[in-house]
Amino acid sequence: MTAVAIIGGSGLTNLKNLRITRREVIRTPHGEPSAPMVFGQLGGQEAVFLPRHGPGHTIPPHEVNYRANIWAIKLTGVSKVIAVNAVGGISPGYLAAGTLVIPDQVIDYTYGRAHTFFGSEQKKVTHIDFTHPYCEDLRQTIIQAGERAKISVVGRGTYGATQGPRFESAAEIRRMERDGSDIVGMTGMPEAGLARELGLCYASLALVVNPAAGKTKDIISIKDIETNLETGMASVRSLLEQVIPLIVYD
């Protein structure tokens, strides 16, 4: 039984430690997902993988078809989703490149994205509870896996989701810090909200790849980000391999 899906972000367009068994193109009422679903074995358990930005990392964050991705994942029959996100660090303690964060809250600064499955075609107004945007059971499982594997993780934090594809200004980061954001990324929403609408247990595994704008005297360097992604994703892959066997199947 495939019980978990992994959504790969920047730097994780494939899972090198996933033993692939098949690929499947899934069509949805909301269009095409970013890529075919990749099924395989990870950590001795079945898992399915979807690269958020496409196999060649060609889809920018504001053009990802989040609804199609989450709908396709639901159609595979999985109940739990681990989303990998590359982020910038805002708060002290979240700034060092390579820091792994399991956020427990999110602030949505995005706009113009198809952010719900509950449009006017539903014929009634539908609301979901989003008080706690991430699945606490899955968050704790990831944290537990890190402790067992001696992989350091920050067990909570607020993810500020911005529109992209540009990076933020220093003033925007100062505002986000006042709002309570600890990390900043471009793909956290509407993905988490859509997963909640479909009843999926969803958690984020965020990798800090740079200090956010204005947090150092230096400008944000794409070269440095790419280097930090390459080294940091090794820890992400290792942690994912430790997490999968601990997940309780529904």
Task: HSE, CB side, 13 Å, CA atoms: give it for residue 207.
Answer: 29
pLDDT tens-digit map of 18-52: 788 899 999 999 999 999 999 998 877 889 999 99
With a cut of 90, say whether residue 70 has pLDDT above it: yes
Residue 45 confidence (pLDDT)? 85
Task: Give the mean pLDDT of the chain.
Answer: 91
E-strand stretches of the chain: 4-8, 19-24, 37-42, 45-51, 80-89, 100-101, 105-108, 158-161, 183-185, 201-211
Return the higher-pLDDT residue of 14 and 188.
188
> Is-above-0.85 flag for pTM?
yes
**pLDDT band with cut points at 50, 70 and 90 for residue 249:** low
Q: What is the mean pLDDT of residues 214-232?
A: 87
Mean pLDDT confidence for 93-107: 95
pLDDT at residue 1 is higher than 60: no
Cis ω before 29 (30° cut-off from 0) = no
**Domains of the chain listed by start with CATH number:** 4-118+125-246 (3.40.50.1580)
State the angle between helix axes of 136-148 and 222-243 in degrees (0 to 180), rounded to the nearest 10.
90
The 8-class DSSP code of residue 28 comes to: B
Which tokens belong to 132?
């706690």
pLDDT at 250: 55
Residue 157 is predicted with a pLDDT of: 97
Cα–Cα dist 203/141, whole Å: 10
Would the CA dihedral through 105, 64, 80, 183 be positive or negative?
negative
The Cα–Cα gap between 95 and 162 comes to 18
State both tokens at 202.
Answer: 């969803």
The predicted pLDDT at position 142 comes to 96
